[in-house]
Amino acid sequence: MSVEVQLTYAMAKELGAQRLEIEGAKTVADVLRLTRARFAETPTRYDELTRVTAVAVNGVLVNYKRGAKTPVRDGDTVAFVKAAAGG
């Protein structure tokens, strides 16, 4: 059971990886906890970098699902998403 975590650019710079593979998560809450654990030396940095980010599972924000209780399945992509404007 593995999900892919797509990080924001700032998070990726901090960890030196664009994506993480997280094993054993059953819900979004698990994914967030296990992602935070990767910031072992700087957990407060994780808090800072995710303060205004939303979380999407396969592109759909968990706000429209069950929030942190949203279940995740093998092969899902969980993304940290910042609000942004383009052109």
Partner 1 sequence: MIKGYAGRVLEVDLGSRTFFFAPLDEEIARLYIGGKGYGTRLLYDRTPAGIDPLGPENLLIFATGPLNGSVAPQSNRFAVICKSPLTGGIGNATCGGSFALGMKKAGIDILIVKSRADRRVRLEIDGDRDVVEFLDADDLWGKGTYATQKLLSRKYQHAVIGPAGENLVLFAGIVSNERIAGRTGVGAVMGSKLLKAVSVRGSRKLDMEDPEKFKAYTKEVRKLFEDHPVLGESMKRFGTGGIVNTTNGRNILPTRNFQKGHFDQAMDISGEFLEDHELKGVKTSCIHCPVTCGRDVEVEGVGVVKGPEYETLALLGSNLEIGDIKKVSEWNYHADDLGMDTISLGATLSFAMELVERGMLDAKLHFGEQAGVTELIQDIGHRRGLGAELADGTKRLAAKYGGSEFAMHVKGLELSAYDPRGSFAQGVEYATTNRGGCHVQGASMYMESVGPLTINPQNLKLKADIPIMQQNIACAINSMVLCIFTTYGMIPKQIHEMNPSSFTYRALAFAFENMPGALLRGAMNFKGKPMLWFEKWLTYITGTTFSSGHLQEIGARIFNLERIYNLREGLTGADDTLPPRILYESTFPGMDSGHPLHLLLPRYYKKRGWSADGVPLRRTLEKLQVRV
Residue 16 interacting with partner 1 (CB under 8 A): no
* Single-letter amino acid code for the residue at 49: L
Give 18's DSSP letter: S
Residue 8 interacting with partner 1 (CB under 8 A): yes
Distance, in Å, from the CA atom of 37 to the CA atom of 41, rounded to the nearest integer, reads 9
Choose, by CB under 8 A, the member of 25, 46, 72, 80 that binds partner 1: 80
Minimum Å gap between C-beta 56 and partner 1 is 5
Q: Choose between 20 and 79: whose C-beta lies nearer to partner 1.
A: 79
Determine the Cα angle at 63 with ends 67 and 59, to 5°.
105
Give 1's DSSP letter: -
Choose, by CB under 8 A, the member of 1, 24, 43, 63 that binds partner 1: 63
